[in-house]
Amino acid sequence: MESWTRILSYINLAGAIHALIQAIVLLFIRRGNRRANRIMAAFILTLAIGMTNGMLSILDLYEAWPFLSILMGAVILAYGPLFYLYIRAMTVPERRGALLDILHGIPFLLGILAYSLYLKSPAGGAAASGLLGFAVLSPWLVVFVLSVLQAIGYIGAIVRLLRKHSESIKAS
């Protein structure tokens, strides 16, 4: 079983390298919707980061650099917002990014906070009570719940954007 894990981790690493190259190309391409290209580059980059999880584990880098588990644990919370912002940039190209778009990063920051608290908590020691204590004891569960809720919300928002875009295409 471990050999399959290693093989799949190497395949994922190859995919991550490919995704990194695609992200770089999208960042520097000069034609098309540049804002959408930059957002898609960020989305592909987060996917590439997520795909390196197996290799980081095989190389025991989580033990050497525990902060990596903070990033890797929370990166899943960046997928939904980035993909939504990409779809919005493609379907409503005249709309510029607003300062409120930064709020889409809150779930990612909450994931980072949950994993940070987990790493800083004493092993087996007393944790804070309530929701904070729950987040400290099981950040993976907090991130999982946030990612499910986020996926439901962003899928609904993306479907709404695409329907609205379809209606505007039919009207024109």
How many CB atoms lie under 10 A from the CB of residue 56?
19
Q: What is the mean pLDDT of residues 99-121?
A: 81
* pLDDT reported for residue 74: 85
- Quick one: pLDDT at residue 92? 85
How far apart are alpha carbons 35 and 85 in whole angstroms? Answer: 10
Which amino acid is residue 116, in one-letter code?
S
The answer to whether the predicted template modeling score (pTM) of the entire model surpasses 0.85 is: no
